[in-house]
Structure 1
Amino acid sequence: MSTQAVSPPSRLALYLDLIRWNRPAGWLLLLWPTLSALWMAADGFPGWHLLAVFTLGTILMRSAGCCVNDVADQDFDRHVKRTAQRPVTRGAIGTREALLVGAALSLLAFFLVLTTNGPTITLSFAALAIAIAYPYAKRLVSMPQAVLGVAFSFGIPMAFSAVQGGASWGPAAVADAVPLHAWGLLLSNLFWVLAYDTEYAMVDRDDDIRIGIKTSALTLGRFDVIGVTSFYLLHLASWAWIGLQLGLGGWFLAGIAVASAQVLWHWTLIRHRTREGCFKAFRLNHWLGFAVFAGTVLDLALR
């Protein structure tokens, strides 16, 4: 009895798997706070050019980050059931090839940044450095999710600089273009990243203990659920306070309220620490960011 041969996946299919193309939740987690900041900086619709730059740039840089992350973590990933079949880990894509894909995606993102202004271009180098450093933080930092939080939040000051910056380059130009409240939003967003990436880490807790990787879920220990909930509340409270200082009102607060309701739902998903519940909470987290973004857009459009 003959069996039909299964053809190997094409290079394109492997590359799409490498950048998690079928799992858009990852880039949506970066996109919503970046776009919220873009609307705040512009005091309304920022224009199609900046909307396209930051949307496409977010997708490209998240995809590039996946390439770097999979190369850095391949020795760990093969011991984790959820990640063992990633293309680099199983040998379908070589290390050099994956890094070249990541470099090409980063270069495309940089071309987009070149259409903005000097301060934003300056900030893009810092953003790239932090994104590259994150995968290696797991070996050194007890809560590497904090490093990820900075990397995932760097689109916020870049959004403000793209709207409010001029032609000058360098640190002084960045200081002039990025107001203090933009850095406050970055810090606020960092707490959201700590919340959802700790949920993600709770999924792999047993595997991470076995292979010796550092995560916020392990650092928090039995206080992980309390920690995640506290991170959510710190994020929403600080984001709401900064938004009110910028003149946002009722619709913005309605978005914050919808996001807060989702925090309660997430608590019900993670409180028993099941893999399924924690992964579902992480996977659907982008709706929390969308609620805040939608509230921001409506508030600025209807004022």
Structure 2
Amino acid sequence: MNMLDRPDLSDIRQGDWVDRLLPGAWRPYTRLARLDRPVGIWLTLFPCWAALFQAAHGLPNIQQLAVFTLGALLMRSAGSTINDIADRKFDGHVERTRFRPLASGRIGVRQALTFLAIELALAASLLLFLTPYTRLVALCVVPLVFVYPFCKRFTHWPQAVLGAAFNWGMLMAWAELTGHIPAGAVVMWAGTIAWQIGYDTVYAYVDVKDDKQLRLKSTAILFGRHGKLIVGLFYAVAILAWSLGGWLTGMSLAYAFGMLVIAMHLAWQTTRINLARPDVNYRLFLANILTGLLLAISALAGSW
């Protein structure tokens, strides 16, 4: 059986904690914000923490850590809501996404837009705790957040746009803690984009069959049978960029050891990629939570 036809590849698990514990009215919004699938939140949060640790050269204060943590949660959730609104007519035809609230008809577009307005208002309220310069940097990411869901209609590189938006908090962290964004911070951010192109391409191979039928684009479709090699190259670029960025930001030898561990982990991931096994590729996508955690730990250790 083609693995794309297996129901367990759906990204919504029927009967999970959302169905068991939450009132019926809350469930579609919880799923719209991806609180039941927090992998994206972790993949946004850990690089942001890494930048905070590097910019503070240690631990930031509790308010800074709280604001950026909540910001990652809210912006990731808002981005997911925008994505589901934009893709509602496609998601119902994709095995992985067919049970999402808008695709399945659990809620309507008007309700989703109201929920999005609340998410964005909460995220905007966090700007009150940041410097004017950081607020300006934050506003610059808004166009990327709104354009990303439509990228798959006209470019094979939506993963690059997502990577830039997903990790914008890294630039904001430096803006907030130091008042400027040094070259090392930009290099770290660029490395994280390369990493995200890699792991999100692995994720995109889960949907290749459906995306082709819907005439959508992705790096997985672009790379085709060469995906394993090209993903490995993007992971290598990420390691090189993170290593250079760490040197430019004054990281210690402990950071270099962390880069070695991450390099081995990404090399292991690359050897395990199987373009014909979406279930394997999905698990490898999830394994990048550990990559992000290792990056944050390396930045904290390197700051001391």
Q: TM-score, normalised by structure 2?
A: 0.90
Which residues of 2 match residues 3-42 of structure 1 at below 5 A?
10-42=24-56
Partner of 2:162: 148
1:122 aligns with 2:125: no
SS in 1 for 2:141: helix
Tell me the distance in 1 between the aligned counterparts of 2:24 and 2:227: 41
Tell me the distance in 2 between the aligned counterparts of 1:297 and 1:26: 22
Which residues of 2 match residues 241-252 of structure 1 at below 5 A?
241-252=244-255
Partner of 2:186: 183
Partner of 1:296: 299
Tell me which of 163, 171, 179 is aligned to 1:157: 171
Deviation (angstroms), 1:9: 5.9
Partner of 1:76: 90
Deviation (angstroms), 1:272: 4.6
Task: Give ranges in structure 2 of 5+ residues lacking alignment.
Answer: 1-18
Instruction: Give every structure 1 segment of 4 or more consecutive aligned residues whose post-TM-superposition deviation is greater than 2 Å.
Output: 6-9
SS in 2 for 1:204: helix
Tell me the distance in 2 between the aligned counterparts of 1:164 and 1:95: 41
Contact 1:255 1:293 in 2 (8 A): no
Which residues of 2 match residues 58-69 of structure 1 at below 5 A?
58-69=72-83
What is the root-mean-square deviation of aligned Cα atoms in Å? 1.7
Contact 1:25 1:284 in 2 (8 A): no
Partner of 1:51: 65
Tell me the distance in 2 between the aligned counterparts of 1:101 and 1:212: 29
Tell me which of 125, 136, 160 is aligned to 2:150: 136
Deviations 1:194-250 (A, max 9, x none): 011101101111111111000000011121111111111100111111102222122
Tell me the distance in 1 between the aligned counterparts of 2:140 and 2:117: 16
Deviation (angstroms), 1:46: 1.2
Q: Which moved more, 1:96-105 or 1:266-275?
A: 266-275
Tell me the distance in 1 between the aligned counterparts of 2:23 and 2:84: 19
Partner of 2:214: 211
Q: TM-score, normalised by structure 1?
A: 0.90
Tell me the distance in 2 between the aligned counterparts of 1:242 and 1:124: 21
Contact 2:51 2:299 in 1 (8 A): no
Tell me the distance in 1 between the aligned counterparts of 2:273 and 2:100: 26
Contact 1:149 1:194 in 2 (8 A): yes
Deviations 1:4-51 (A, max 9, x none): xx9996121221111111211111111111111111111111111110
1:87 aligns with 2:90: no
Partner of 2:14: none
Tell me the distance in 1 between the aligned counterparts of 2:40 and 2:276: 21
Deviation (angstroms), 1:111: 0.8
Tell me the distance in 1 between the aligned counterparts of 2:65 and 2:35: 21
Tell me the distance in 2 between the aligned counterparts of 1:53 and 1:257: 31
Tell me the distance in 2 between the aligned counterparts of 1:156 and 1:299: 17
Contact 2:32 2:81 in 1 (8 A): yes
Tell me which of 119, 124, 137 is aligned to 1:110: 124
Partner of 1:269: 272
Which residues of 2 match residues 191-202 of structure 1 at below 5 A?
191-202=194-205
> Which one-letter code corresponds to 2:103 in the other structure?
T
Tell me the distance in 1 between the aligned counterparts of 2:285 and 2:223: 17
Deviation (angstroms), 1:93: 1.1
Contact 2:184 2:244 in 1 (8 A): no
SS in 2 for 1:273: coil
Partner of 1:227: 230
